[in-house]
């Protein structure tokens, strides 16, 4: 089993590197026969990717360094080629499209970048990274403002629906892979626990980050004790959306009714039906906490 897992891991890494070579050169490569070991093969492919991407492309350097395909020592030696300041504050934004994005979306993002050192990185058909440079580290308000501008413009001008996640800004080039990974994790956590969200900040995901690291066995034990998976699977999407809105509006019947455009009595009727099904009345604070955590863990289990 271990050998099979390694072989699959080697193949996935090999295909990823071949795809990067194709993107950098426009040429499709194949490995049909080689006397090299798997590890040596991957290293040779990485050298080719570094040659074609890093030497000829600033975007390629960022892509390889963020994704761990280029060591810090190799990346740092190439910074001067592209006039990249190692100690400039930078913000990494991770964007995920609901569908394959278009070239127009990429062009639009590039047109929105104020500085020549800012870059847009195409990771795959659904994921992009935007790196913004700042004179001083941006505050939260400035980061959120940039995030909303990107999403609003993409929707209005490119007719593309994206979500966006980010972590804290970093003060030096060396820490960028950490920020990138945190932004990716934030997207995964957000999609798992807060799937209706639009912008996810790694530092503000609180409960989601905590639950994300709970072992599967503990998740199953919690749900088995409170609301079983079989019961949760019977709840329709409309009821789930109502519950999320009810939680988002601080358990206010009036505010939830207003924002969901339903009559107060209709909302009460649906909450009563949920209480009959699960035994929990979310109008009670303690029950609301249990249901909120159970629903988050249920989404976590479905994402596995």
Q: What is the mean pLDDT of residues 22-50?
A: 79
The answer to whether residues 69 and 94 belong to one domain is: no
The model's pLDDT over 21-31, given as tens digits with 9 standing for 90+, comes to 787 677 888 88
Q: pLDDT at residue 4 above 70?
A: no
Tokens of 45: 């492919």
The answer to whether residues 98 and 209 belong to one domain is: yes
Q: pLDDT at residue 3 above 50?
A: no
pLDDT of residue 29: 83
The answer to whether residues 103 and 172 belong to one domain is: yes
pTM of the entire predicted model? 0.74
Tokens of 249: 């509006």
The model's pLDDT over 256-271, given as tens digits with 9 standing for 90+, comes to 999 999 999 999 999 9
The answer to whether residues 218 and 260 belong to one domain is: yes
Share of the chain above pLDDT 90, in %: 63
Q: How far apart are CA 21 and CA 183, in angstroms?
A: 25
Instruction: Choose one of 213, 233, 251: the last residue of a domain.
Output: 213
pLDDT of residue 53: 57
The answer to whether residues 287 and 208 belong to one domain is: no
The answer to whether residues 20 and 134 belong to one domain is: no
User: Locate tokens 């080689």: which residue?
Assistant: 34
The answer to whether residues 178 and 268 belong to one domain is: no
The model's pLDDT over 130-170, given as tens digits with 9 standing for 90+, comes to 999 999 999 999 999 999 999 999 999 999 999 999 999 99
The answer to whether residues 40 and 116 belong to one domain is: no
The neighbouring-strand residues paired with 131 are 92, 119
pLDDT of residue 24: 67
Q: How far apart are CA 161 and CA 100, in angstroms?
A: 10
The answer to whether residues 232 and 295 belong to one domain is: yes
Range of the domain at 193: 87-213
The model's pLDDT over 52-99, given as tens digits with 9 standing for 90+, comes to 654 567 888 898 899 888 889 888 888 888 889 999 999 999 999 989
The answer to whether residues 98 and 58 belong to one domain is: no
The answer to whether residues 124 and 173 belong to one domain is: yes
Instruction: Choose one of 51, 84, 117: the last residue of a domain.
Output: 84
- 277 half-sphere exposure, CB direction, 13 A CA radius: 19
Total tally of structural domains belonging to the chain: 3
The answer to whether residues 55 and 116 belong to one domain is: no
Instruction: Choose one of 159, 192, 213: the last residue of a domain.
Output: 213
- The mean predicted confidence, pLDDT, of the chain is 89
Kindly report the CATH number assigned to the domain that includes residue 241: 1.10.10.2840
């Amino acid at each position: 089993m271990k050998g099979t897992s390694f072989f699959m891991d080697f193949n996935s890494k090999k295909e990823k590197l071949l795809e990067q070579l194709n993107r950098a050169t426009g040429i499709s490569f194949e490995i049909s026969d080689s006397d090299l070991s798997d590890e040596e093969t991957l290293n040779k492919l990485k050298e080719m990717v570094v040659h074609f991407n890093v030497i000829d492309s600033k975007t390629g350097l960022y892509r390889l360094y963020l994704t761990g395909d280029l060591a810090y020592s190799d990346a740092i030696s190439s910074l001067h080629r592209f006039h990249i300041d190692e100690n400039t504050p930078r913000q990494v934004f991770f964007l995920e499209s609901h569908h394959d994005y278009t070239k127009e979306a990429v062009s639009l993002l590039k047109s929105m970048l104020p500085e020549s050192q800012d870059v847009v990185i195409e990771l795959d058909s659904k994921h992009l990274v935007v790196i913004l440079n700042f004179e001083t580290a941006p505050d939260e308000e400035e980061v959120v403002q940039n995030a909303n501008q990107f999403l609003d413009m993409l929707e209005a001008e490119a007719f593309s629906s994206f979500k966006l996640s980010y972590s804290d800004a970093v003060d030096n080039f060396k820490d960028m892979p950490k920020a990138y990974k945190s932004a990716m994790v934030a997207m995964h956590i957000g999609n798992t626990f807060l799937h209706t969200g639009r912008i996810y900040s790694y530092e503000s995901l609180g409960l989601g980050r905590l639950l994300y690291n709970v072992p599967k066995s503990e998740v199953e034990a919690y749900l088995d004790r409170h609301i079983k998976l079989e019961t949760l699977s019977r709840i329709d999407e409309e009821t789930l959306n109502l519950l999320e809105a009810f939680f988002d509006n601080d358990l206010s019947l009036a505010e939830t009714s207003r924002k969901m455009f339903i009559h107060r009595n209709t909302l009460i009727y649906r909450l009563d039906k949920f209480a009959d099904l699960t035994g929990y009345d979310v109008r009670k604070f303690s029950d609301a906490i249990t249901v909120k955590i159970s629903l988050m863990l249920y989404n976590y289990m479905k994402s596995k």
